Structure 1
Amino acid sequence: MTRLRTTLAATAGLALLLTGCSHDSTTDTATSASTSTPAAQSPAYTGQLPDRPADGDPVSCTYNPSGDAARDVTAPPSDDVAAAGTVEVTVATGVGEIGLTLDRAAAPCTVNSFVSLAEQGYFDDTPCHRLVTSPGLQVLQCGDPTGTGTGGPGYGFDTEYPENVYARGDAQLRQPVIYPRGTVAMANTGRPGSNGSQFFLVYEDSQLPPTYTVFGTVDEAGLAVIEEVAAEGDDGSMAAGGGAPNRAVQIESVTVGS
């Protein structure tokens, strides 16, 4: 099961989990993205996300087969993937539109995958299956057509920014940083190559280790939609915290702009 963990205080050991997709049991601890060489020296710890990468040259990505696909889709192209500029996306839901701006420089392989899945209709008519409203972790998680928290696209890929800014094995990768309100990030299992299709939308500043790929932002209108949903709470069905939103969020379509 994919998990999204936060430590509000390192000594307290408090963890809030978000389930997600991974059928690959062969992987182990998280590693840096395959699209870059890990930094020789990590940035100083500030409690904030490190500076995002600048626009760069196109990269190659690796998308490995990983379990059964929740829907019949093909993996995205892996060569000459853009690592500069942004992509505008509109997520139409039954409770309102959520606008996203995806950041190719920060996470080219992630944006490439998300755009490919959106264009194949993978996210259409799917639920946002989990809402967490706990202090320090306030997110809405989507991207699993099965609605169970276990579905994925049949392939996996490695984490990108911010994890790939740090040296491998750096202790800071276990320290919480602020994922700011309006962040779009990927869920993963904590194992290499376990990013798939599930993503989460941060509607209030949340504390997480810097091991969840940040690949965009949510617009203010979209945040207002999510906050209305969050105000109605969740059903508490997830043992690790949170549950299905009491006000159901069904993605009707995901439209990719320029």
Structure 2
Amino acid sequence: MASSRDRQRKLARAKLDRQLARRAAAAKRRRQIQAGVGVAVVLALIVVGSAWALGAFDDDPKENTAADDVCLWTPQDATVNTNLKDVGTPATKGLPTSGVRPMTVTTNQGAPITVELDLAGAPCAAASIAHLASRSFYDNTKCHEITAEGAVRCGDPSGTGLGGPTYSFYDENVPTPEPSASPAPGQPATYPKGTVAMIANPPGANGSQFLIFFEDFTTATPKYPVIGRVTGGIDVVEKIGAKPTVDNGTGAKVKPKDDDVVVQSLTVGEPVAQVTSSPAPTPSASGAPAASPSAG
């Protein structure tokens, strides 16, 4: 009987030893797993810390790859000014801002007048005229004034000086004021003969109207944005400028007397990289040769 109890105790002891061994092995595995996790966490923290130190988590603004607006068009109310004509608005983005753009004005007064529009100095004026020309805005309209400043005024379908599109845009490329209205001999005029400039009513709210100067004009207070220059047909502009004028109904003797000066068509070509032609120098008001009209 004693030996039987001894065997039972030995079996129980062996069983207990096995249980303890399994528990010890399980505890060892847990410690290994925990140690591995701890190492992984430490490594992760090191990586994150390094990335943070190198600025990987800086919240920099994303680069704006969208094209910026080149021009802004201010709406004008045609119910307030019934002389305005709605032909939509030009684009605001992707407009050319370098080189020149050819413009051809065909009138009932002779050969076409050719112009180079200055895309660098007056990109918005060029964009506006090109847009309006594509809508036949200028076709069969009148040059309703021959101004006392020596320019032919065109581009108003209403012929009143108040007409234009249902948008306006700001001044570009207004010449620097002269110290006096009489420049020193040899100095170019503020607006040399052949200059093409915008004219707005009120000033600064440009639309469709433009001036073509047939003689030099100098002023101490320039207000017309220069948009280009005549490259051909200046004799036609001079012919129009020589016409006698009568009262236009407002007390200003600026309306051509004998017959209407009609713009039969106005077209604008595609941009070109650089000036391709230059008009011959013309005498200045002082008698000295003036520089070629600047496109800005």
Percent identical residues: 34
Instruction: Flag the 1:100–1:67 CA change in 2: closer, same or farther, 3 A.
Output: same
Where do 1:39-188 residues align within 5 Å? 60-68=70-78, 70-96=84-110, 97-132=112-147, 134=148, 137-162=149-174, 172=177, 178-188=190-200
Instruction: Flag the 1:81–1:241 CA change in 2: closer, same or farther, 3 A.
Output: same
Instruction: Flag the 1:191–1:185 CA change in 2: closer, same or farther, 3 A.
Output: closer
**For the aligned residues, what is the CA RMSD?**
2.4
Alpha-carbon distance, 1:238 to partner: 5.8
Deviations 1:59-80 (A, max 9, x none): 6111010132633301100112
The gaps in structure 2 that reach 5 residues or longer are 1-66, 182-188, 271-296
Tell me how far apart the structure 2 counterparts of residues 123 and 187 of structure 1 sit (CA, whole Å): 15
Deviations 1:182-216 (A, max 9, x none): 00000023554x11111111010012423311010
SS at match of 1:219: strand
Tell me how far apart the structure 2 counterparts of residues 111 and 239 of structure 1 sit (CA, whole Å): 31
Moved more, 63-72 or 103-112: 63-72
Q: Who is 2:14 aligned against?
A: none
Tell me how far apart the structure 2 counterparts of residues 116 and 183 of structure 1 sit (CA, whole Å): 21
Alpha-carbon distance, 1:240 to partner: 6.3
Alpha-carbon distance, 1:111 to partner: 0.6
Identify the structure with bigger relative contact order (alpha carbons < 8 Å, sequence gap 6+): 1
Q: Who is 2:255 aligned against?
A: 244
> Of 217, 225, 242, which residue of structure 2 is paired with 1:231?
242
> Of 193, 196, 202, which residue of structure 1 is paired with 2:207?
196
Tell me how far apart the structure 2 counterparts of residues 138 and 229 of structure 1 sit (CA, whole Å): 11
Pair 1:218-2:244 in alignment: no
Alpha-carbon distance, 1:89 to partner: 1.2
Instruction: Flag the 1:67–1:240 CA change in 2: closer, same or farther, 3 A.
Output: farther
Instruction: Flag the 1:58–1:93 CA change in 2: closer, same or farther, 3 A.
Output: farther
Question: If you compute each CA radius of gyration, which structure gives the higher value, 1 or 2?
Answer: 2
The count of corresponding residues between Structure 1 and Structure 2 is 190
Alpha-carbon distance, 1:239 to partner: 4.4
SS at match of 2:244: coil
Letter of the 2:264 counterpart: E
SS at match of 1:99: strand
Deviations 1:86-120 (A, max 9, x none): 11111111112111111101100111101110111
Letter of the 2:160 counterpart: T
TM-score by length of 1: 0.67
SS at match of 2:121: coil
The gaps in structure 1 that reach 5 residues or longer are 1-56, 167-171
Q: Which runs of 4+ in 1 moved over 6 A?
A: none
